[in-house]
Chains A and B, each alone.
Chain A
Amino acid sequence: MTAKPMTGQSFFVLTALADGPRHGYGIVGDVADLSQGRVKLKIGSLYGVLERLTAEGLIEPDREEAHDGRLRRYYRLTRDGRGALAEEAELRAATARVVRTRLGLTGPAAAGAAG
């Protein structure tokens, strides 16, 4: 049986954690930036993704910090999470290369058109 493909939301959340731990709302903001505003996670959706990624062992809690009387929990990638994200990024990059080739956006013709 093949593994389920990674959803876009999971991909963005893992990418948001790739350069260091973040708390819930920090992830929301980073995902919005990464997707150029196309993915705006609601809190219910975010915690659905965080719960699933935690259960799959791809992320884990890092620390808690007090902020305005509330505790912010930070999350970080696990080693498995790094591996899964790298694999997914490679897959997406390979797909993107195929798309660019099929659309004629690479090679001499595209360079000529661009020039």
Chain B
Amino acid sequence: MSANLERRYRRVLRLLPGWYRRQWEEDMVAAFLDGWLIGDLEEDAAVLQFCRPTWAEVASVAGLAVRLHLRGPGTPRRYAWGQALRRTVLTVLLVHAVVAVNVLVLLAWSRPLAGWLHVLPSSLAVVSPPSVWPAVYYLVNAGWIVIFLTLALGQYRTARVLAALAIVPDLVALLQAQFTGIMSAPFGPWPFWVLLNLAPVLAMTAFHRDAPLAARGPWLLALPAGYLLVYGPLMVLQATGNSAWLPDFPGLCCILVSLACLVHAPRAWSRHAAGTGLWSLTLALLAGVAGAYRIATVTDYLNDPHLINVSLAELLILLAAVALIAPDAARAHSASPGPPPRPLAMDA
């Protein structure tokens, strides 16, 4: 019968994938117990009976578990999920960065520092109530641009730390609004914070040491391109008095993901294009985020049947677009397992 300490450690090891435990568990347990036992029968018995794995030890196993779940050796399914998750996080951060560029452009446009520009239409001016919050808001927005660039350039740890800091002011403002009823700055609502702030920050654990570097060029180019392609038409619509055609932010997310699915669909259906599955899986994940965001914010329009219908239409369009790439995404997801991990056979 195993001792308490060993049983507790084995319980922690259940965090690890089954294939890994089959290969390494006994060795890990032996090495772990070697670190505790000193060869004194009485003292060792007490240690085995009463001691527990330290938090640092548990954290090291948890960190290993996250890395292995996202990158199993020779397991394309896990690799596909890890890659799709990393691309999803990068895309969400790209959205943050594009929004931030827009906020800073509007700020520059509405302030004397860019006085040579035409006067900004009042509908586009950024409202700045007299407090510290506007400064925090602009700082956080500038921060998202830095975070996106840092992650795209492969500085994973720096990006994770900055992102964890960047979501704090929004949380503070939301909690303050919860208690006082006053939103201090134009941060997003709770669904925005949970889905587009907290979730991607947590998912940034997928950018671990072994994660392959993203292609820098296309991601860096995506920032100016994304700003021009998204905010160009939106600003034209707004400045020309056609604001009625503007979707709200969740609706815009649904439309953009739907368009991306439509653009990607021909490649996903092509028999000649290879390696499209990862992007299909990424778009499916992004559709999940956009759809959840849309559903969570529909309640804002309970008094307006027209806007509820618009929201439902956006969801239907999103569903139809995702259906086009779903078979390709499923192929990437259910890729047959590759060769088993290198066996630990001893030849000596």
Which residues of chain A have a CB within 8 Å of any CB of chain B? 7, 23-25, 28, 42-48, 50-52, 54-55, 57, 61-64, 67-68, 70-73
Contacts and interface: CB of A to CB of B under 8 A. Distances in A.
B29 A70 contact: yes
Interface string B284-309: 00000000000000000000000000
18 contacts: A23-B30, A24-B30, A25-B30, A25-B31, A25-B34, A28-B35, A44-B59, A44-B63, A48-B64, A48-B67, A50-B24, A51-B73, A52-B210, A54-B342, A55-B73, A55-B341, A73-B27, A73-B344
B66 to A, nearest CB: 10
A39 to B, nearest CB: 13
Given A43-B35, A55-B341, A61-B346, A71 B26 contact: yes
B37 interface: yes
Nearest to A25: B34
Contacts of B62: 44
Given A51-B20, A67-B30, A71-B26, A45 B63 contact: yes
B27 A47 contact: yes
Nearest to A72: B30
A61 to B, nearest CB: 5
Given A25-B31, A45-B63, A70-B29, A64 B346 contact: yes
Contact of B57 (A43, A55, A64): A43
Given A7-B209, A43-B28, 11 more contacts: A24-B30, A25-B34, A43-B32, A44-B63, A45-B63, A46-B31, A48-B64, A51-B20, A63-B348, A72-B27, A72-B30
Shortest 6 CB-CB contacts between residues of A and residues of B: A24-B31, A44-B60, A42-B60, A25-B34, A44-B61, A70-B30
Task: Bin the interface of chain B by size.
Answer: 20 to 34
Q: Is the interface of B mostly helix, strand, loop or mixed?
A: helix
Nearest to A23: B31
Given A24-B34, A52-B210, A55-B341, A47 B64 contact: yes
A27 B28 CA distance: 12
Contacts of A57: 342
Nearest to B29: A70
Contacts of A44: 28, 57, 59-64
Interface in B58-94: 59-64, 67, 73
A63 B30 CA distance: 14
A24 B344 CA distance: 14
Contacts of B221: none
B33 interface: yes
B274 interface: no
A70 B63 contact: no
B56 interface: yes
B30 to A, nearest CB: 4
Given A45-B64, A46-B31, A54 B344 contact: yes
Contacts of A46: 31
Contacts of A73: 27, 30, 344
Given A52-B210, A55-B73, A61-B346, A47 B57 contact: no
B113 interface: no
A46 B33 CA distance: 14
Contacts of B34: 23-25, 67, 72
B190 to A, nearest CB: 35
Contacts of A23: 30-31, 34
B61 A43 contact: yes
A50 B20 CA distance: 12
A64 B27 CA distance: 10
Nearest to A51: B24
